[in-house]
A and B are shown apart, each in its own frame.
Chain A
């Protein structure tokens, strides 16, 4: 990394010199009278806008929570009603009806027409 030619070393030295001279060539900055009041004015401005955004965000979060709670309540009452209806049917039916209802689901994929066609062949 450091195996530079004499010309490169000279350039390197010139750059160092230039950067050192640059530091002293830069003027010192004296802040104006409005520097501190300006900072506080901008801080206040940001605090106001942050509070405004905060309030909006809070309102939105509250509304979202309320909507979720309402939806959850609606869903749970709907499920409850459906479940009650199915449970009542099951409990009120006879043992034979319950068995039939259970077997209908298993028999459904078979089609009588198809079996008849097969028999004809």
Chain B
């Protein structure tokens, strides 16, 4: 592998590399697998850039540095306590070894419809902070990901951080991934739900994101609206599940058929009440 590999310590050291056409590497768990034996000419590793790490609360948002590894995020109290829907996805992503290497920003830029962190981030209305030599800009995650492996990242730009508006403390957060095995599984279907109910148990706002059932993660707005104003019970979730089946666009592949995915995607909604005390 004849690539030149640079590991700048700060963003000032990164920008000239990007101008020269370097390919960005975060954890390497996707890039080096895709490029087996055939690396780009210059690789710019982000792992030593301190400003791309750190987790904290900022103006009502949880801010997560794009180069935080899945393992480190999983250990962070803000993620565990405030974003359990994300924590549950991180806990079943890849394997412990992959989680020690792969990063949140990398999972986003890989933009796989099966990316385990993506459904939770869509359901949390996450934004991404993009940085370049010219400055930073913030865009919504679902606007940023345009298709499988396709993002709206400009040349010379990187994902610097992920910002999640703090969910209401009483909001119900749920994640479930269906895969062929427990570890190292690419999901067949995943569901992330963030649902806020009022004192009487009536849904004030429901956000439902489904993974591996289309060319990107899909927010099922019709299903969300069908839940609003209703109690979370078998009947309302069955109706929302029917809406989910209309809104998703699954494909047949070697892991599962489209028909199976459509069935499971709708049924997974029932677990939202089965999984809570």
- B is a partner of A: no
